[in-house]
A and B are shown apart, each in its own frame.
Chain A
Amino acid sequence: MREFDASILMFTALMVVATISLILVGESRADVYLAISILIYFIYTFIDTRIRNRSNLKILDIVFVIVFTLIVAYRLALTLGFI
C-alpha cells in the first residue's frame, strides 16, 4: 500500500470512529457532527503533511473555516438567546 493511501485510510478511520462515538453518546445535534468532522480534518491534515504536500486543499480550507465559523456563531447566538 502506498503511504498516501495509508494516510487517507487513517483519516477515514478517524472520521468513522468520531462519528460512531458521537452516535453512541446520543448526540442529536447535526451541526456538532459537522463541526467535529471539520476539526478532525484540520488536525489530521496538519499533523500528517503527506496529504497537504500532494494535493491542494486551500479552497476546501476556506470553505470549512466559513462553515465552522457559522456553526460556532449559530451555537453562540443560541446560548446568548439571540435565536
Chain B
Amino acid sequence: MDYRYLVIAGNIILFSALFIIIGLMGNATIIVGAALSMLTLGIVIFVIGLTYTEPLGMLYRKYSDELNRVMIKLLEDLDLVGNHIVRTCKVDDQVFILFSKKDLECTNINVGIGLAGNNAYLALPVDELIVIGKQEFARGDLSEILRFYLVTYYGICRDVIVDTEGNEVKVSLIGLPRDMIRLVKQPINPLKILIPALTTISLKSDTIILNEELLEDTYIITLRRC
C-alpha cells in the first residue's frame, strides 16, 4: 500500500464526482464526460495505491515461503514438529536459535543440524538480523531496543509492550500488518527468531520460548531467561 497514491486518488475522485454532479445538474454532457475520464484516472490510481507492493516484496515473499517449506521439512525429518523447545544460545559474540526436543546445553552446539547426545537439533544463526545496531544495546532497556528494531527499523508493528515478571518476559506486538500475520502463522516465523535474539542480546542471557499466541493483529510471546 502506498498512501501517497491513495491521497492523490481520493482528491481526483472527489473533484470528478463534484463535476459529474455539476454536469448532470446543468445537463452539460461534455463536463460529465471529462469528469468520467478523471474519475477513471482516480479509480486506477486508487487501486494502484491500495495494491502497491515494493519492488522486491513479491520476490522476498515467495522466496521466504519456499525456504519455510524446506525448514518445515527439516523439522519434520528431525522429529521436531509439535512439541519442540525453542531457545536462544549466545556463545561468545554469536547468537543462534536452537530448535530441539529437550532443553540442551549451548556449549556443544554448532550452527546447522546436529546431534547432542541422542537429541537432534537445528541451530539457526541470527547475527545478520540484529547486527545493525549492536552499539545500541550498550544503552537503553529491552522495551526501547525492541521498539527501535520492531517499530522504527523493521516497521513490523505499531507498538511494543514489554512486561517483566521475575524471569519471565512477555512481549506484545500491537498492530501487525497483514503480511506479517500470514508469516506468524507459520511454524518458523521471523518474530519467533527476532524477539528472543534481541532479548538475549539486551538482557545478556539466553532465553527460552514458553508460549506464543496471535490475537487478531496482536502477537504475544512469553520468554524465560535461562
Question: Does the CB pair A33–B48 fall under 8 Å?
Answer: no
The 8 Å CB contact of B36, one of A8, A28, A37, A55, is: A37
CB-contacts of B1-40 with A (<8 A): 5, 23, 29-30, 32-34, 36-38, 40
Question: Does the CB pair B37–A15 fall under 8 Å?
Answer: yes
The 8 Å CB contact of B51, one of A8, A30, A57, is: A57
For the complex, is B152 an interface residue (Cβ under 8 Å from A)?
no
Give chain A residues whose Cβ lies under 8 Å from the Cβ of B40: 15, 34, 37-38, 41
Question: Does the CB pair B55–A54 fall under 8 Å?
Answer: yes
| Chain A nearest CB, measured from B89 CB (Å) | 40
Give chain A residues whose Cβ lies under 8 Å from the Cβ of B33: 19, 22-23, 27-34
| Chain B nearest CB, measured from A66 CB (Å) | 14
**Interface SS, A side:** helix
Q: Which residues of A contact B (CB under 8 A)?
A: 8, 11-12, 15, 18-19, 22-23, 26-34, 36-38, 41, 51, 54-57, 59-60
12 residue pairs of the A-B complex, CB under 8 angstroms, read A19-B34, A29-B29, A30-B23, A34-B33, A34-B40, A41-B44, A54-B52, A54-B53, A55-B53, A56-B51, A57-B51, A60-B43
- Having A15-B40, A30-B32, one finds 12 other A-B pairs with CB under 8 Å, namely A8-B48, A19-B33, A22-B33, A23-B33, A30-B33, A34-B37, A37-B41, A54-B54, A55-B47, A55-B48, A55-B50, A60-B43
